[in-house]
Chains A and B, each alone.
Chain A
């Protein structure tokens, strides 16, 4: 099965508020808040780390959740944010993730 790589879009604005990440896409001004688990995925979206690794090391080890369920939830979350242009998804590492990601 091919790996999935995720990177934060450069079109977004983002900031932590009381443990939750606020995210807004400038293209449509859609506003989201991410819970703690989603925030951890978001912060790990460096364009180079495969999603499976993010889930295994960044989610399961930290939040004590089942790997298969966490992988499914993460894929759903990534698919939803990618439809809003907030996360970029590829089956290969991004060549210039810094251009997409910005710093938090």
Chain B
């Protein structure tokens, strides 16, 4: 086990929030076709409130801080926030589209010793990228931003979201990242919109296409192990937990709502009304999330994939049951190994059922709207 993995396990066991994803705004200069956010400002945390949250997070033991949005550069106080975070010695990662990054911004980020900048890029072709972002010339501006950051010696990762609109482009986009001298990640996950609109799921790539992604050695180096049929789960596997959401990781929205993960919209509290540590330590919702072991999962506890599946409890929650299967992950497990999941067998399916728009998923809203 690597030192980092050991520390992660230690934080998990102790219930220390080692990593936090903080969206500082939902406003954005792009209108990506697959985006799940409502881009209007419904009362973002002020600069002082965000600084106060960062103070609390440092005190709670948070080490890894991801600042994201929306587009982080839409906030005029963005650098003030990063400066404060770095003064508190967080390891800071920033997610951005880089459209607003020029030479000066790159120099400032370098001077602030930001760890990594993750930049959304959806194609090697300007026409495809711009059609997804709906912002003319965004491809050109994003590439320039990447170059400014790279030239300053910052660690840059291109994050591509695989969807029907760019399915044919991911190999060439990966090559573009290599030509630019930056890292590359690919994620086929499309998340339902915050208002419960499922139509965006129509952009998910057909499951059959996942096989090709899983067999790309540049993305999956240990293919034999990765695509091997699952072994029968052990008792230890059944005592395991899905992921770090709510255990050593959580998400804070621009309105101060705290959730187990950015993809797990279960409201657990609001830092405008409570101290972060009060929410983290005493929220009944977080305690419930933490209590769920693999053996408690409906259907999945009897699935041969239970120990190796990437089952996302947040996506399962959005399907109506945080202890239930996440269909998107059933699909991944099936196309990764060729072995049907218990969820598929239960439904009498030989192939996973792809979501149709309008499927009966729960409605998701910002917690403020619920309160």
Contact = CB atoms under 8 A, between A and B. Distances in A.
Interface stretch (B84-92, B121-129, B197-205, B238-246): B84-92
A68 interface: no
Given A26-B114, A102-B86, A13 B7 contact: no
A12 B155 contact: no
B115 A15 contact: no
B89 A14 contact: yes
Contact of B87 (A12, A24, A103): A103
The interface size bin for chain A is: 20 to 34
B44 to A, nearest CB: 25
Interface in A2-16: 10-16
Given A13-B90, A15-B58, A22 B14 contact: no
Contact of B113 (A11, A33, A104): A11
Contacts of A18: 10, 14, 16
B158 interface: no
Interface in B137-177: 153, 155
A63 interface: no
B114 A33 contact: no
Given A17-B7, A31-B4, A104 B89 contact: yes
B10 A26 contact: no
A102 B61 contact: no
A29 B61 contact: no
A24 B114 CA distance: 11
A31 B3 CA distance: 8
A33 B7 contact: yes
A16 B61 contact: yes
Contacts of A32: 3
B63 A15 contact: yes
B62 interface: yes
The 7 A-B residue pairs whose C-beta atoms are closest, nearest first, are A13-B91, A26-B113, A15-B63, A11-B113, A14-B89, A26-B115, A102-B89
Interface of A: 10-18, 22, 24, 26-27, 29, 31-33, 102-104
Interface of B: 3-4, 7, 10-11, 14, 16, 18, 58, 61-63, 86-92, 113-116, 153, 155
